[in-house]
Amino acid sequence: MATLEHAGSVPLDLRRADESARRLPVLAWVGGWWVAGRAIIIATAVVVHRVGPAGWIRLVSHAHALGPLGAWDARWYRMVASNGYVLIPGRQSDPAFFPLYPIMLRGGHALGFGYTTTGLVLSNVGFLGALLAFYALTRALFGESMARRASAYLAVFPFGYAFSMVYPESIVLGLIALAALAALRRRWGWAAVCAASAALARPEGLFVALPLAVLAWDQRHLLSPRARGVALGAVIAPIAAIGSFSLYLGSAIGDPMAWSQAERAWGRAFSPLGFVHAIDGFGSAFARDAWVTRDVVAVVLYLVLIAAAARAGVSWPWLLSSLAIVVLPLFSGSFDSIGRFGLLAPAAFWGLAALGRDPRVHRLIIGVSLPLLAAAIVMLPLQFP
Amino acid sequence: MRNRGSWVTLGTAAAVVAAVLGLGFIVQRTTLRAPSQATLAAIRSATWLERYRLVDSTITLDDGRVLRGRCLQDWVVQGGRRRRGAVLRLDDGYTLLAVPPHTLSATGGTAATQAMSPLVLMELAGCPRVLARRLQTLAQERRGLTLGRDTLAFSLKGTSLTLRLAPHTGAPVGVALVSPTVRGASRIRFTPVTTQLRQLLGVSSR
C-alpha cells in the first residue's frame, strides 16, 4: 500500500511542481505589465492632482491624491452605493448604472473604507485578476505567445486608464474572461455565475452569452442532460441577471425599465436609425465638442483590430460579440465613450496581439501606448472617459 | 429516454435561470438602500410640476393681501434667441419675466408687491420649473426633504417651503412659504396651456 501511495504521489508532485514552475513566469509577466501600466496611470494622476488641468473635475481632483481616477461616472456609482436608486424623469439619474459595482463599493464601505478608496482598490486589483483571466483564456484559445502579447497590450492600452478608475470595467472584463474560461473547462455552473455577474455590472456583459452558446453547442455530445441544462442556463444567465435588475427597480422605485429610461437622459435612445443619426450628426457633435473625434478614432481602431482578429482566425462568436460591444452603442445616436466600452471586446486585443507578431509592430504598439496612456490621464479633467 | 433527457436539460436550465433571477433580486434587495418615501414624494411632485407648464394660484400673504397669479414656463424669444423662461402675472398688474441666466425684469404692480423678492413670488405662485428643479436636485441628493401627512417640506435659497400634496395623486395643491421678510401661503392649480393663454401672458406663439 505504501509503495502504491508512493508511486502515485511522485508524478502528482512533479505535475504540481511543473505547474507552479509554469505559473511563476506567467505571474511575473502579467504582474509586470500590470505594474507598468498602473504605475504610469497612478503617477500621472498624482501629477494631474497637483499641477494638471482642473477642468470639469476641479472638486474631485483636489479632494484626493488620486482624485482624477474617482471623477465623472464614479460619482454616480458612489451615489448608488450610498443611497440606492431613484429615477428622475427627464434628468440624468442613477438607474443607468448597473448594480454589481455599487454593491461591491458598499461592501468595502461596510468594512470601514471610503467609497473612492474601495473603488480604486477594487478596480486596480480587479484588473490584475482580469489580466490573469484574460491571459488564461487567450492561452487556452490561441496559445502562449498570443496570450502574452494580448495581456501586455491590454495592460497598457491607452483607453485602459478606465480600468483604474472607480468604474466597473476591470471587474466586467475579468468576469467575461472567467465565464468563457469556465465554459471551456466545462464548469458551466461557474460560467453561469460569472456571466450573470458580468451582466449585473455592465450591459456589455450580456454579449458573453454568444461565445458561451457556441461552446455549449460544441460540447452538447460530451455533457450529461443535467450538465447540458446548466450550460443552457449559463447562456441565458446574463439575460436573467438583467431581468433581476429590472425586477429590483420595479420593486424599489416602481419602474422596471428605469435603467433604459435613465439612459435616454444621457442622449442614449436606441433606434434602428441611431447609427445613421450618429454618422449624420458627427459634424454638429464636432462643432459642439471636438473631443468626439477621440471616440470616432476609437471606433475605427476597434473595427480594424476586430478585422485583424478575424484574419488571425478568431472564431465568429467572439468576433460578433466584440463587434456588438463596439457597434451597438452607435445605434443610440452617439459616439460618446465607445473608447471605454470597447475595452470589453476581447477580440480587439486578440487582433492587436496578432498584429504584434511582427517585432517592429510589437515595439510600435508598446512605444505608442505608454505615452498615450499618460496623455489620457492628463486629459481626463477635460473630457469624460 | 432521449425525451426524458431533454426534459432534464430544460428543467435544469429553468432552475439555473430562476436561481440567477431570484438570487440577483435578493442580493440587490438586501444590499442596496431603497429610496425614502420623502424622496419618492418629491419625484412625484416634480413630475406633476414638469407635466404642466401653467399654474394658476391664489396667494395669501401674512399682511392680509390676497393676490391671484398665473405662472407660465415657456420658450421666450430674447434678442432673436429662444430661451426657457417663466412669465408670472399677478392681478395687481405685476408682471415678472425670468429667463436664466441673466434676465429678471419686473414691471407694474403695487409698491408692496414690487418690494417683494421675485423668487418668493415665483415660489408662492407655484412656478413649475423653479419648484421642480429644486425637488429633483434634493431627491437626487437624498437630502433636505421632510415628508409629513400630505405635506413635503424643503428649502430653496433661504426660503422654507412646504408643499401641500393631494392625498391620492401626490400632486402639489398648495405652497406655504416662510422667508426672513415674508410669510405666505397659496393654493395652486395646474392648467393646460392654450395659444390664447400664451398670448395673454405675452409669450409669442409659434
B17 and A102 within 8 Å at the Cβ level: the answer is no
Give the pLDDT confidence of A359-384 residue by residue, as tens digits.
999 999 999 999 999 999 999 988 88
pLDDT recorded at residue A110: 97
B35 and A252 within 8 Å at the Cβ level: the answer is yes
pLDDT recorded at residue A23: 82
pLDDT recorded at residue A302: 98
Interface test with B, best of A76, A86, A245 (most B CBs within 10 A): A86
Report d(CA B2, CA B7) in Å as an integer: 9
With a cut of 60, say whether residue B125 has pLDDT above it: yes
With a cut of 50, say whether residue B206 has pLDDT above it: no
Q: Chain B: residue nearest A227 by CA?
A: B9
A240 and B32 within 8 Å at the Cβ level: the answer is no
With a cut of 60, say whether residue B178 has pLDDT above it: yes
Contact (Cβ atoms closer than 8 angstroms) between residue B44 and residue B179? no
- Residue B3 dihedral angles phi and psi, to the nearest 5°: -60, -45
With a cut of 60, say whether residue A5 has pLDDT above it: no
With a cut of 60, say whether residue A44 has pLDDT above it: yes
Would you call the peptide bond into A225 cis, given omega within 30 degrees of 0 as the criterion?
Answer: no
Give me A307's grid cell.
Answer: 478585422
With a cut of 90, say whether residue A286 has pLDDT above it: no
| CB burial string B116-125: b at 16+ within 10 A, e below | bebbbbbbbb
Lowest mean pLDDT across A250-264, B4-18, B164-178: A250-264
- Higher local confidence (pLDDT), A40 or A62: A40
Interface test with A, best of B1, B2, B3, B12 (most A CBs within 10 A): B12
Q: Out of B15, B136, B142, whose CB is closest to A83?
A: B142
B12 and A233 within 8 Å at the Cβ level: the answer is yes
Any CB–CB contact under 8 A between A131 and chain B?
A: no
With a cut of 50, say whether residue A344 has pLDDT above it: yes
With a cut of 90, say whether residue B200 has pLDDT above it: no
Interface test with A, best of B21, B29, B49, B53 (most A CBs within 10 A): B21
Report d(CA A354, CA B181) in Å as an integer: 74
A89 and B43 within 8 Å at the Cβ level: the answer is yes
Contacts of A83 in chain B (CB under 8 A): 33, 35, 142
pTM for this predicted structure:
0.89
Give the pLDDT confidence of A102-111 residue by residue, as tens digits.
999 999 999 9
pLDDT recorded at residue B172: 96
Rounded alpha-carbon distances, angstroms, from residue A306 to A178, A295, B168: 21, 16, 55
Q: Out of B10, B11, B29, whose CB is closest to A248?
A: B29
pLDDT recorded at residue A7: 43
Q: Chain B: residue nearest A253 by CA?
A: B35
Interface test with B, best of A93, A248, A253, A259 (most B CBs within 10 A): A248
List the 40-59 stretch of A: residues with Cβ below 8 A of B.
Answer: none
How does residue B189 score in pLDDT terms, banded at 50, 70 and 90? very high
Any CB–CB contact under 8 A between A93 and chain B?
A: yes
Give me A219's grid cell.
Answer: 460540447
Distance from CA of B132 to the nearest CA of A (A): 11
Reduce the DSSP state of residue B90 to 3 states and report it.
Answer: strand
**β-pair partners for B82:** B77
pLDDT recorded at residue A15: 67
What does the pLDDT average to over B170-187?
Answer: 95
What does the pLDDT average to over B109-124?
Answer: 94
Report d(CA A166, CA A41) in Å as an integer: 13
B17 and A234 within 8 Å at the Cβ level: the answer is no
- Residue B195 dihedral angles phi and psi, to the nearest 5°: -60, -40
DSSP A19: H
How does residue A3 score in pLDDT terms, banded at 50, 70 and 90? very low
Report d(CA A66, CA A83) in Å as an integer: 23
Q: Provide CATH code, domain B37-200.
A: 2.50.20
Give the pLDDT confidence of A153-212 residue by residue, as tens digits.
999 999 999 999 999 999 999 999 999 999 999 999 999 999 999 999 999 999 999 999
Distance from CA of A186 to the nearest CA of B (A): 15
What does the pLDDT average to over B86-114?
Answer: 91
Task: Give the rounded percent of residues in chain B with a pLDDT score beyond 70.
Answer: 96
Lowest mean pLDDT across A72-76, A137-141, A192-196: A72-76
Distance from CA of B131 to the nearest CA of A (A): 14
Where in chain B are the domains?
1-32, 37-200
pLDDT recorded at residue A4: 42
- ipTM for this prediction: 0.91
Q: Out of B18, B24, B31, whose CB is closest to A196?
A: B24
Where in chain A are the domains?
24-267+351-379
B28 and A93 within 8 Å at the Cβ level: the answer is no
Give the pLDDT confidence of A214-242 residue by residue, as tens digits.
999 999 999 999 999 999 999 999 999 99
With a cut of 60, say whether residue B151 has pLDDT above it: yes
Give me A285's grid cell.
Answer: 457633435
